[in-house]
């Protein structure tokens, strides 16, 4: 039950996220775009577990509102260490185990010729959840979870930098995740988010944000997906990715920022191996396409989970 991907990029005087980028809109905060996938609807078990994600993102393409290249912008690279601590209680509510989730990102950002904050600390995310482990859909097992996350603006942020590890706003994000076992070996996992962000009231005016000194990112619908198969006992391969669609325009100090809605789709191969009931590891790489008002690049992720 891994969490939100924190590749926070504030580019061209607007901050962006894990796969985000600079310029014109590019104002969305860090979001879980592809950080979680295989068997995402479940948890390792009742108790406490820790997950470490190491993710590298690289982009040299910046897309406008029509999906065309924006020339003359620098390459961007981000190295993320996402640290997640989760506790699942034996106690139940509505037939589901009660749990709590905490995530802290550490981020290193590089951008050729772009002012970059040397700080490493991103924003803290925490949330309660309900985890169902023994339900069925059409006679087949399905594990599912509902969580409500809040992101606290405690990360390092300074408006004089175009790239920051913190976003300087609050984020409220409910999500629903499930894994449905279509056969004993074939399964599909989805995590469906709705994102609401508050105002960043300390940004540098620029043509890309309507010369506003404050920006409120538009509301967003996004999901992660994977189609998985157990090739060997404990070893699953998958096609996995994510999709994001911004539903409302960003807002500046003078109203809506026109043509600021973001979009991106990604897919790629993923594998995950369960060494034991307590320890598992995964690897994946994903390529982005159909991008609007964001950077377009590649994201590669290593993931390790240990149940204490």
Long-range Cβ contacts of 246-251 (<8 Å, 24+ apart): 246/25, 246/28, 246/218, 246/219, 246/220, 246/293, 247/218, 247/219, 247/220, 247/221, 248/218, 248/219, 249/218, 250/25, 250/27, 250/209, 250/215, 250/216, 250/217, 250/218, 251/199, 251/215, 251/216, 251/218
Query: What percent of the chain is modeled with pLDDT above 90?
Result: 73
pLDDT tens-digit series, residues 106-132: 999 887 777 888 889 999 999 999 999
> Does residue 4 lie in a domain region?
no
CATH of the domain at 68: 2.40.160.40
User: Is the pLDDT confidence value at 3 over 60?
Assistant: no
Mean per-residue pLDDT for 72-80?
A: 84
Segment (H or E) for 271: strand 263-274
Return the pLDDT at 23.
Answer: 30
Return the pLDDT at 207.
Answer: 64
Structure token pair of residue 282: 């995964």
Domain coverage including residue 102: 9-307
- Domains in the chain, number: 1
* Of the candidate ranges 3-7, 25-29, 167-171, 294-298, the one whose mean pLDDT is the lowest: 3-7
> Does residue 1 lie in a domain region?
no
> Does residue 45 lie in a domain region?
yes
> Does residue 242 lie in a domain region?
yes
CA proximity to 295, closest of 25, 90, 88, 86 = 25
> Does residue 80 lie in a domain region?
yes
Q: What is the pTM of this model?
A: 0.89
pLDDT tens-digit series, residues 157-213: 998 888 889 999 999 999 999 999 999 999 999 999 999 999 999 988 776 676 788
Mean per-residue pLDDT for 260-281?
A: 96
> Does residue 71 lie in a domain region?
yes
Return the pLDDT at 282.
Answer: 97
> Does residue 229 lie in a domain region?
yes
pLDDT tens-digit series, residues 19-49: 222 233 478 988 999 999 999 999 999 999 9
> Does residue 94 lie in a domain region?
yes
Mean pLDDT of the chain: 89
């Amino acid at each position: 039950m891994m969490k939100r991907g924190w590749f926070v990029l504030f580019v061209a005087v607007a901050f962006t996220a894990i796969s985000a980028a600079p310029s014109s809109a590019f104002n969305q905060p860090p979001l879980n775009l592809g950080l979680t996938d295989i068997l995402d609807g479940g948890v390792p078990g009742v108790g406490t577990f820790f997950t470490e994600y190491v993710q590298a993102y690289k982009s040299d393409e910046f897309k406008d509102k029509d999906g065309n290249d924006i020339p003359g912008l620098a390459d961007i690279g981000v190295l993320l260490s996402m640290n997640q601590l989760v506790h699942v209680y034996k106690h139940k509510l509505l037939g589901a185990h009660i749990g709590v989730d905490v995530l802290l990102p550490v981020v290193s950002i590089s951008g050729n010729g772009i002012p970059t904050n040397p700080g490493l600390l991103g924003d803290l995310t925490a949330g309660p959840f309900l985890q169902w482990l023994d339900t069925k859909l059409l006679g087949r097992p399905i594990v599912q979870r509902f969580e409500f996350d809040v992101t606290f603006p405690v990360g390092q942020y300074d408006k004089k930098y175009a790239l920051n590890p913190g976003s300087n706003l609050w984020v409220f994000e409910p999500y629903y995740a499930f894994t449905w076992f279509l056969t004993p070996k074939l399964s599909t996992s989805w995590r469906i988010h709705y994102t609401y962000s508050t105002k960043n009231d300390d940004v540098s005016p620029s043509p890309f944000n309507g010369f506003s000194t404050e920006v409120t990112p538009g509301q967003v619908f996004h999901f992660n997906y994977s189609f998985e198969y157990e090739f060997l006992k404990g070893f699953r391969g998958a096609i996995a990715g994510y999709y994001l669609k911004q539903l409302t325009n960003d807002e500046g100090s003078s109203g809506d920022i026109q043509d600021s809605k973001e979009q991106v789709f990604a897919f790629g191969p993923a594998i995950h191996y369960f060494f034991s009931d307590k320890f598992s590891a995964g690897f994946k790489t994903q390529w982005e396409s159909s991008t609007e008002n964001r950077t377009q690049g590649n994201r590669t992720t290593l993931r390790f989970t240990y149940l204490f």
